[in-house]
């Protein structure tokens, strides 16, 4: 009897896995290593079906103080499901030389609590899949702290240049639109 229940459970989980994979948008296919951790961030598992703000960051940029506003935005909307993903990059030659230093800037200097990855390539032919997908739906980042607002279906609703602050009314409106978007499973 126990063996039969286990077999049924195994069969049901095998059927459910492809269904979950089908619900994950192409934009979120992949993993990133979490900043200062051996753990991976499975983009589908963590962000699929959720409103998302993706920002490419740098530790020694004139825009680095935006971490404070991004953290405030995350705190304001996380109860409504918003996720924020910071992706450090040295593509514009302003990222720290080590993950330890990047982590200090993010976590100690600015109190970041949203997801941060290890430094990645975010522009050009060597950009990671996430940023290739963001660029395909919008545009590639032209500098550090370029922001993408992604709805629950994995579609870029809006993108904002580095000069746009986290409390900008247009950015807030896009975030609220992403929060209001229906999950992929509920699309008609």
Give the pLDDT score at 22.
Answer: 54
**Higher local confidence (pLDDT), 22 or 87:** 87
Its pTM stands at: 0.86
Q: Please list the active-site residues.
A: 61
- Residue 35 CA: distances (Å) to CA of 31, 50, 67, 73, 161: 12, 21, 15, 20, 24
Asked if the model's pLDDT at residue 13 lies above 90, the reply is no
- Could you write out the three-class secondary structure of 40-81? EEEHHHHHCCCCEEEEEECCCCCCCCHHHHHHHHHHHHHHHC
Q: Is the distance from CB of 160 to CB of 54 less than 8 angstroms?
A: no
Count: domains in the chain: 1
pLDDT tens column, 39-73: 999 999 999 999 999 999 999 999 999 999 999 99
**Higher local confidence (pLDDT), 125 or 184:** 125
Helix (H) or strand (E) holding 102: helix 99-103
Rounded Cα–Cα distance for residues 98 and 132 (Å): 24
CATH number at residue 69: 3.40.30.10
Domain, as residue range, for 118: 2-186
Asked if the model's pLDDT at residue 86 lies above 50, the reply is yes
Rounded Cα–Cα distance for residues 146 and 63 (Å): 10
Q: What is the mean pLDDT of residues 8-15?
A: 44
pLDDT tens column, 137-177: 999 999 999 999 999 999 999 999 999 999 999 999 999 99
Q: Is the distance from CB of 106 to CB of 124 less than 8 angstroms?
A: no
If you compute the radius of gyration of the chain from its CA atoms, what whole number of angstroms results? Answer: 18
Q: Is 155 in a helix, a strand, or coil?
A: coil
């Amino acid at each position: 009897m126990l063996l039969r229940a286990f077999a049924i459970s195994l069969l049901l989980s095998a059927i459910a896995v492809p269904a979950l994979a089908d619900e994950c948008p192409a934009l979120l296919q992949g993993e990133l290593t979490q900043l200062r951790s051996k753990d991976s961030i499975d983009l589908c598992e963590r962000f699929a079906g959720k409103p998302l703000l993706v920002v490419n960051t740098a530790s020694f940029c004139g825009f680095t103080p935006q971490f404070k506003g991004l953290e405030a935005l995350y705190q304001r909307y996380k109860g409504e499901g918003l996720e924020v993903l910071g992706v450090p990059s040295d593509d514009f030659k302003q990222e720290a030389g080590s993950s330890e230093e990047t982590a200090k800037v993010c976590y100690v200097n600015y109190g970041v609590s949203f997801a941060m990855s290890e430094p990645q390539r975010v522009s050009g032919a060597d950009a990671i899949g996430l940023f290739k997908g963001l660029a395909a739906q919008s545009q590639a980042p032209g500098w550090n702290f370029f922001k993408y607002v992604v709805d629950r279906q994995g579609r870029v609703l809006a993108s904002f240049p580095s000069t746009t602050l986290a409390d900008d009314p247009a950015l807030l409106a896009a975030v609220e639109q992403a929060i209001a978007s229906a999950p992929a499973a509920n699309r008609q």
